[in-house]
Chain A
Amino acid sequence: MSEIRQDLERRSSRLLRWYPKDWRSRYGDEFAELLVAEMADRPRSWRRSADVAWSGLLARLTSAGLTDHAIEPGDQVRASLASLWCALGVFLIFGVAMWSQLTIGWRWSPPDTRSTYAAMLLMSGAMLLFCVLALMAAIPIAGCILARVGRGESRGLLRPLLLLLVGAVFLTIGSRHFGNGWPGTGGHPWAQQGLVPGGVAAFMWASTLSVTSYWAHPHALAAFPTAELAWMAASPVAIVCEMVGAAKIVRRADLSRRVLRYEASLARVAAFGMVAFLVGSCSWVIDGHSGPNTLFHTGAIDVAGLVLMSVALAVAERALRRARHGGLALMQR
């Protein structure tokens, strides 16, 4: 093989990385051949590179069940539900960070504005709803997984299960450890005050300790204990492990049509919960009242959180629409 051909193949395989694995396994070889031929005609073209990058990203969105590109209805529902789960995960990272700040604030002193009070009620109600939905969603999936393991068909599930388990154990142990360091968890007069038990508030606060504006202030960050800094850096990795593990399980668990439709209906309720939570957090941030002893102070990190939560909600809504589309196609079969 000539040196020029080798160089062209190297460049084409680099461009192919924009595409997801399943797309590459189907079209990779022929697409690489086309790219080599194109590059032989026109060695350099930024338009071609941009076109490949854009199409690769589109293929990734399609693989995530987020585009109108028609795929097999069962795959569509699975992919859309997995994407919705990821969007909900991102939403909750920032949402829990805000909510735990408010719950902890309330343990010291109740809010003195109606909007903060209403925000807390809405956000706490939505959090309760998410917990119930998570349980309702997990039971049939766990049943499917157990059935598959029982039949000896656990291939493809072990790694995501391990990822989910390691992430959950790490996050639970770390959040318990750092949450227990917070004084409001017990033994203080203020411990009985507030909407949410102190232990829950502290656990949630510790699990999202990485969502902080301290990252923009390295000097202040340097004064933190090393263990806490390590936790702030490692806990997002554990959260990502959980999200990826759960998303892969949803895609690979071979869920029946009935379970898929059930999960899609739960997802619809979860989307309503996201809207309620976002309305609550918006009313708190827009109100902007710091409250007693500035316990409910809002900052740039909260505004950034709201923006990211809105983006996550938009992705979830898109995924939900595609899941419903796939679900309807499944019912017509």
Chain B
Amino acid sequence: MTRVAKPEHTPEQEQVSPEALAAFGRYAGPATLILSSLADGAKHGYALTKDIEAFAGVRLAPGTLYEALSRLEGQGLIEALESNDRRRPYQLTAVGAAALRAHLDAQRHVADLGLRRLARSWGVV
């Protein structure tokens, strides 16, 4: 049986708390969408907008997108790649991946709890 190697766990990743994105205030939502979009590969601004619109049904306005991108870059959660044209792609960093993981885990916990309570009290499955 082939064993899948676990990704290397760096000390930086261990320091990331679920609150890492909550510190983004009103940009926590766009930041989560951007990190989720970048989780499957590098993208530039317009590709990010289209991808997020496709999977979340939300079209991030250009100003909001770049405000969140600059904050994410400042925190080291994403990094810009070199590009030959004017469109610069961004990719997730190891710290960013850990922050996204921690944030989504916390959200899943809330979602699971809410669904369980709905099922118990309201019979909604």
Contact = CB atoms under 8 A, between A and B. Distances in A.
Interface of A: 23, 26-27, 29-35, 37-38, 47-48, 51-56, 58-59, 68-71
A30 B45 contact: yes
Contacts of A52: 61-63
Interface string B48-89: 010000000000011111110111001100000000011110
- Looking at chain B's contact residues, is the secondary structure mostly helix, strand, loop, or mixed? helix
Given A34-B49, A51-B62, A70 B75 contact: yes
Nearest to A53: B63
Contact of B62 (A26, A34, A69, A70): A34
Contacts, number: 66
Contacts of A38: 46, 49, 62
Nearest to A55: B63
B23, B49, B67, B74 pick with most chain A CB within 10 angstroms = B67
A31 B87 contact: no
Given A33-B44, A70-B71, 14 more contacts: A26-B70, A27-B66, A30-B44, A33-B45, A33-B46, A34-B46, A34-B49, A34-B65, A38-B46, A48-B63, A51-B62, A51-B63, A58-B67, A70-B74
10 contacts: A27-B69, A27-B70, A30-B87, A34-B45, A34-B87, A48-B62, A48-B63, A51-B63, A68-B23, A70-B75
B74 A33 contact: no
Interface in B22-63: 23, 25, 44-46, 49, 61-63
Contacts of B63: 48, 51-56
A27 B80 CA distance: 11
Q: Contact residue range for chain B? A: 20 to 34
Contact of B46 (A37, A55, A58): A37
A26 B69 CA distance: 12
Interface of B: 23, 25, 44-46, 49, 61-67, 69-71, 74-75, 85-88
A51 B25 CA distance: 17
Contacts of A30: 44-45, 86-88
Contact of B61 (A27, A29, A33, A47): A47
